[in-house]
């Protein structure tokens, strides 16, 4: 995948492990054009339009923007019988409004089987499919069930995989840096039996021992976790 901005292209193929970076609307960025992932062919400054730039942390640097005090990360594992509750919770978060000092971002997935039992498909929560998605609450879009604004489709992910949680946190810290962080692990609580479930991808609940009961953080930064909710 690639994304052109004024003739400049960031090619994800050059750095296959990198996830697209979203530069929010109105936010400044600085890009490097590369030929092989190493040689810098040029530089470009621009203003984000809310779309994703394919690349990595070193390719796109956000500049001239004050970081909010908090980033709230919600890992919403709703591919189970909590799908309806998860959709309602997204609506509740949107109804709370937007605070410039608090970024709210989430990764969510819902159950086709659970929603089918209520006569619903993906259109019931404003999505074209049941893939896992990421969403930053910005106040954009009309009020509808599920996410009001644009989402990022990341395919069908296994929400019980510790590596998946780590990737979400890395994405959130990269795209929504803040002074403090709150991580919410949203799902059924099973005590010692488990923590997160994904009926489509895993068909099981992940145990705390498998998750190692650790909160991931970027290796390039020292992250102080102010709050963790599970």
Q: Residue 9 pairs with which residues in a beta bridge? A: 4
Taking only the tens place, the pLDDT of each residue in 12-33 is 333 333 444 555 555 555 554 4
Q: Give how far Cα 109 sits from Cα of 132, 201, 211, Å.
A: 5, 10, 19
Using one digit for the tens of pLDDT, what is the confidence trace for 51-101?
444 444 444 444 445 688 999 999 999 999 999 999 999 999 999 999 999
Cβ neighbors of 208 (< 8 A, separation 6 or more) are: 192, 194, 195
Does CATH number 3.40.50.720 belong to domain 70-229?
no
10 Å CB burial of residue 49 (0-12, 13-18, 19+) is exposed
Domain coordinates in residue numbering, the chain: 2-62, 70-229
- Rounded to the nearest angstrom, the gap between the alpha carbon of residue 50 and the centroid of all alpha carbons in its chain is 14
The rounded distance, in Å, linking the Cα atoms of 100 and 66 is 10
Whether this prediction's pTM lies above 0.75 is answered by no
């Amino acid at each position: 995948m690639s994304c052109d901005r004024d003739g400049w292209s960031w090619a994800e193929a050059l750095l296959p492990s990198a996830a697209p970076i979203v530069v929010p609307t109105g936010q400044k960025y600085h890009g490097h054009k590369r030929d092989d992932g190493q040689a810098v062919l040029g530089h470009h400054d621009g203003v984000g339009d809310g779309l994703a730039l394919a690349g990595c942390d070193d390719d796109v640097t956000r500049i001239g923007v004050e970081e909010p005090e908090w980033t709230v990360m919600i890992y919403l594992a709703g591919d189970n019988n909590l799908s309806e509750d998860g959709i309602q919770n997204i609506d509740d978060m949107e109804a709370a409004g937007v605070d410039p000092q608090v970024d709210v971002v989430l990764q969510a997935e819902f159950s086709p089987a659970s929603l089918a039992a209520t006569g619903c498909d993906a259109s019931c929560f404003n999505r074209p499919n049941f893939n896992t998605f990421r969403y930053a609450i910005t106040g954009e879009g009309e009020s509808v069930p599920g996410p009001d604004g644009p989402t990022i489709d990341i395919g069908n992910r296994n929400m019980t995989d510790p590596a998946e949680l780590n990737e979400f946190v890395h994405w959130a810290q990269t795209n929504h840096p803040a002074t403090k962080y709150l991580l919410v692990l949203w799902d059924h609580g099973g005590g010692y039996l488990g923590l997160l479930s994904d009926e489509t991808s895993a068909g099981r609940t992940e145990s705390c021992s498998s998750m190692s009961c650790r909160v991931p953080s970027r290796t390039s930064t020292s992250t102080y976790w102010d709050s963790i909710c599970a």
